[in-house]
Structure 1
Amino acid sequence: MLRTLFSGARDAVARVLIPDAAGTLKRAWSLRLIELAALADIILNVVPVVSDYLPWWLTLALLFGAWFARLLIQNKEAPVAHQ
């Protein structure tokens, strides 16, 4: 019974996940820039000493870079049809 339950769960997860997840993560520059912006914002707010060395606009620049990467760079790639 457990084997049937786990195989059903595995099939459900396989349908939800992206077939080429590794290739997608290699091209996901917007995700990387958003994560860097979040990290920079956390560092600037938690560690006040660092705010002397990092500019206040770093988070905004990274978020604009993520927007730029998402709209202009990633849309040029050919869409992959679901199989």
Structure 2
Amino acid sequence: MLRTLFSGARDAVARVLIPDAAATVKKAWSLRLIELAAVTDIILNVVPVVSDFLPWWLTLVLLVGAWIARHLIQNKEPANGDKA
């Protein structure tokens, strides 16, 4: 019952906030890179053994990549919002 309630609420919010949520998620590279940077930072801080294999600056590189994806790549795409 809760699963049905939450999925219905999620669909309703997605329809209200973003008309074409599936296409937006496919193009949201900056969000993916930010999430990957967060996971990398958590792994580097929680699991000390991994810090020998992953460099400390990997989080910074991913965040710079997210900034580039947001400002340079996503701005070239045409706006596909509601034109009502």
The alignment's TM-score, normalised by the length of structure 2, stands at 0.80
The superposition leaves residues 31-56 of structure 1 with CA deviations (integer Å, 9 ceiling, x where unpaired) of 00000000000000000000000000
Which runs of structure 1 show a deviation greater than 2 angstroms over 4 or more consecutive aligned residues? 12-15
Q: Does 1:73 align with 2:61?
A: no
The answer to whether the Cα contact below 8 Å between 2:33 and 2:62 also exists between their aligned partners in 1 is yes
Output the aligned Cα RMSD.
Answer: 1.8
Q: Does 1:20 align with 2:15?
A: no
Give the greater-gyration-radius structure (CA).
1
Aligned residues: 73
Which amino acid in the other structure matches residue 25 of structure 1?
A: V
The answer to whether the Cα contact below 8 Å between 2:19 and 2:81 also exists between their aligned partners in 1 is no
The answer to whether the Cα contact below 8 Å between 2:30 and 2:65 also exists between their aligned partners in 1 is yes
Q: Work out the CA distance in 2 between the residues paired with 1:24 and 1:75.
A: 13
Q: Which segments of 5 or more consecutive residues in structure 2 lack a partner in the other structure?
A: 1-8
Of all paired residues, the percent bearing the same amino acid is 75
Alpha-carbon shift at residue 81 of structure 1 (Å): 3.2
Which residue number corresponds to residue 59 of structure 1? Answer: 59
Q: Work out the CA distance in 2 between the residues paired with 1:65 and 1:81.
A: 25
Which amino acid in the other structure matches residue 43 of structure 1?
A: I
The superposition leaves residues 19-74 of structure 1 with CA deviations (integer Å, 9 ceiling, x where unpaired) of 11000000000000000000000000000000000000000000000000000000
Corresponding residue SS for 1:63:
helix
Q: Work out the CA distance in 1 between the residues paired with 2:35 and 2:81.
A: 28
Which amino acid in the other structure matches residue 24 of structure 1?
A: T
Which amino acid in the other structure matches residue 24 of structure 2?
A: T
